[in-house]
Every structure is written in C-alpha cells, then in structure tokens.
Chain A
C-alpha cells in the first residue's frame, strides 16, 4: 500500500511537487503519465526515501517514509524494486554481478542461489548471452532491460519503475510491458510505473494519473483518461501511427 498526501518538493525556488495526493492499494498497479520535467522521477525518489519532501506524508505499508529511522527505512527498501530512469547499473560490475550484488545485499541470499536466480531473470529479459558483459558494453535498450531485471530479481512487493520502455523498439516495449504485468499478476506486486508510453501504461496498470503543476491532475482507468477532453491528456493518446 502506498499513500501519499500533500507531497511538496522544491529545488531552490523551483516548486516541482505541490501537494500531490496518491493512493495505490496493495497489489494495484498505477501509471504516472506526464510531460518531461513535471516531477515524475522526483515522486518515485520520494517514495523510496531518496529525496526528503518539504511537506506532506508518504506511507508505505504502514511505515511513514519521510519520518522513518534507518531501520524502518531499510525494512521498506527490502520490499522495493526500483528501476531508475537511466538504469543506474553499477558500471564496475558485469550485468550478472549487478543482479547478484542486489540479491545478496538486499535479501542476504547465498551467492550460488543468487547466481541461478539472476540468470533466470536475465533470460526473462533476453539478456542471457550478455550476462558477463559490463554495462558499458551494452546498448541503451539492453541496459534498460538489465536494470529492469535487477529491479525484478529481488521479487519485490513494491515495484517502482521509471520509464521501463523508453528507448526500446515497439516489439520489445510490448514484451517488457507484458513481463511487468505478468510478474505483477503472479506476485501481487504493488507497482508505480512512470511512462510516456500509453501502450505500456495500458498493459501494465489498472489505473493511471497525469502529473501536471505538481499534482496528479486526472486519475482513472486508462479508458477514462482517454475520454478526458483536455489536450494535455489527449496528447498522450495520440498514436504516432
């Protein structure tokens, strides 16, 4: 369960979030749509306790993130799989080491088991052949998939995905979206997915919202959003084809 109320965050005199409200039930998947620079990544980072909000409250599974001590914060983070917008793969480690590192630190799983599991997840995102490469040797889309595998391998109860399909071709985008949906259904993951890709949002999420002026302006099912008569919302639904 993720409950955000009155979340505000500014950098200097740039107010990014301005009283944002969001409630995502346990096991629900929610997409955040929004133009570039509206604060989508900032929102995700606040949820994971990486940025400290100026005001407001964020509750993740009964723990208040913004007021949590280190131990509580760790408890929450053990449940979180985070896909960073730029991937954030550890560039000194190979792809599979990236996954193993996360498993053994996040969940304290023994190495041999971690290695098997990591390989499975890399196979799932189609990177089995490249698992011993360094991140610098991968293409943009491969990095994204590797980073997704790293977020998923810990089998998180909460999944925070920052643009999982950006930079991928339409076919891979579809596959990745389906993969997230499948894992979501299988493990009842609570997910928040930031995306510009309306197809992805449609596949992955039950509900979506449009972030604008520091708040979630419209929320509802994808179909409901498609019917809203506001050009800024409608813009996301204009298919390029």
Chain B
C-alpha cells in the first residue's frame, strides 16, 4: 500500500516534467511519427474487434429490455449516447493501455537495463526529452482517433443487430442516431481521451525508467504499466465524468 502511494507521488512529479520538457527544442518529429505509426498499428486490430463487439453486445443486451416498454425505437439513441460519452472512450483507453502502456514500459525498461539510456546521457541527449516526450504526444494524438473509430464501429455493430432482426431500416437508424447525439455528448467523450492518452504513455514511461535489474525487471515494468495505467484511467474517468456533467450537463 505504501509502495502504491510512493508510485503515485513519483509518477506525479515524473508527469509534471513533461510539461516543462515538451516545450523545449529539439523537437523529435521523426520519433513522433514512428511512434504514431507504432501505436496505431499495434492497437488497430484489437480496437476494431472490440468496437464492433461493444455495439453488438450493447444492442443485444438492451433490446429485450427496451422492447418490454415498447421503446425499441430508442435503441440507436441509447447505444450512441452510452458509447460516445462513456463506453467508447473508457474501453478503448483500457485496450490501448494493454497494448501501448505495456509496450512503452517494456521498451524503455529494456533500454534501461541494457544501458542504452546511459548511452543517451553520455551523448548529451536528455533521455526524458528523447524517449518520453514524443511517446506522450503520439499517444495523445492517437487515442482520440482510435476512440472515434471505435465509437463508429460500435454504432455499426448496433445497426447490424437492428438490421438482422429486421426491426429498423438504415435510414431510420441513421437519423435517430444523429438526432440523439449532441455536441454535449461528443465533446466530453473525446476530450477525456486526451487525458487517457497522456496517462497511457506517461505511466509506461515511468515504469520503464525506474526499472532495475535484468530481464525480469522488463517484464515487471510491462505488467505494472498496464495495471497502473488502467487503474488511473478509471479514477480519472470518475473525475472527468463529474467535470463533464458540470460543464455540459
């Protein structure tokens, strides 16, 4: 328990450093682009599958309940709102945490134990600036895109259910989905994901950097990254849901 809070404390100071470091040159555009590609391609297959499944399950699950009240026509709206506001961002973030946080944790940890980070320092390259900053920026860019994509697939998933059961045509589905979504659903839903992206990359980097010992340290860094990132994402979500309600109703 004490270890947990020490981690949180050190993690906080580790993550504030980002704000300072991100603004100073040199800007590592090459690194940024390669991380964008890496994070995107690493997460895309899983995010696609889970996005679609999320919509299918949600629709199948709520359909009988809604039918009992004769409110099946609300299904598109229900799915769209819960996916866009809450499920899409959180589930995507948790999946990406599993792929990307652990990846960053393992990568930086192995650079730590094989002295590559020391080598960077001797070459007068600031390892934080070179390794952490581009990864965080890449994650902050990638996560909103992946979330929007997962949201879209989830809505397609819900449509498939309605279409297969023959309960709704596509025109009606599209109009009722679009009518149900307002800016006050979309903005908080997407805004959250910037924070989640930040958490994903910073937590992975933190555990990577503080790795000690040999290869077993690398494995530990990867697991701790996922566990912590997921946990902090959920806590942050709790806070951000409140903030979203205050700001957008």
Contact = CB atoms under 8 A, between A and B. Distances in A.
B121 interface: yes
Interface residues of B, number: 12
A80 B119 contact: no
A91 B106 CA distance: 13
A81 B114 CA distance: 17
Interface in B89-124: 110-111, 114-116, 118-119, 121-124
Contacts of A84: 115, 118-119
Main secondary structure of the interface of B (DSSP, over half): helix
Interface string B124-140: 11000000000000000
Contact of A106 (B114, B115, B118, B124): B124
B23 to A, nearest CB: 17
Contacts of A238: none
A121 interface: no
A77 interface: yes
A90 B116 contact: yes
B123 A101 contact: yes
A48 B123 CA distance: 11
A152 to B, nearest CB: 13
A78 interface: yes
Nearest to A85: B115
A117 interface: no
B232 to A, nearest CB: 27
A105 B120 CA distance: 9
Nearest to B122: A82
A43 interface: no
Contacts of A45: 118
Contacts of B116: 88-91
A50 B123 contact: no
A102 interface: yes
Residue from the set B110, B115, B122 with the largest chain A CB neighbour count within 10 Å: B122
Given A86-B114, A88-B116, A90-B116, A48 B124 contact: no
A217 interface: no
A88 B124 contact: no
A203 B94 CA distance: 58
16 contacts: A48-B118, A48-B122, A50-B118, A50-B121, A74-B124, A77-B122, A77-B124, A82-B119, A84-B119, A86-B114, A87-B114, A88-B114, A88-B116, A88-B119, A89-B116, A91-B111
Interface of A: 45, 48-50, 74, 77-78, 80, 82, 84-91, 101-102, 105-106
Closest 6 pairs between A and B when the two form their complex, measured CB to CB: A88-B115, A88-B119, A82-B122, A84-B115, A106-B123, A74-B124
Given A80-B122, A84-B118, 13 more contacts: A50-B121, A50-B122, A77-B121, A82-B119, A86-B114, A86-B115, A88-B114, A88-B115, A88-B119, A101-B123, A102-B123, A105-B124, A105-B125
